[in-house]
Amino acid sequence: MQWQKLLKAALLLPETERLILATQLLESIPADDGCWSVEDPGFLEELDRRSSDGSTAVPLSELWDNRR
């Protein structure tokens, strides 16, 4: 897949350039009313709630497999 090639190349960039790239990519996605933002206090509260509820996390690899 094309995105995997891009990711592999992006991971070779220095940290500062990866942060710039990530920021630009995130800013390119239109915000909508249902979208969580890391700047939203509700999002941080939800992260805290989920991390303290004792449930297990789903591995990222499983999430990626489910997208295919």
Query: Average pLDDT, stretch 55-61?
Result: 74
pLDDT of amino acid 29:
80
pLDDT of amino acid 41:
79
How many angstroms separate the CA atoms of 33 and 35, rounded? 6
Band (45; pLDDT cuts 50, 70, 90): confident
Query: Average pLDDT, stretch 50-56?
Result: 75
Whole-structure pTM over 0.75, yes or no? no
Band (5; pLDDT cuts 50, 70, 90): very high
Tokens of residue 4, six digits: 């995997």
Per-residue DSSP letter, 29: S
Domain boundaries in the chain? 1-27
Tokens of residue 44, six digits: 């941080």
H-assigned helices in the chain: 2-10, 15-27, 41-52, 60-67
Residue 58 Rama label (left phi>0; alpha psi -120 to 50; beta)? beta
Tokens of residue 42, six digits: 């509700």
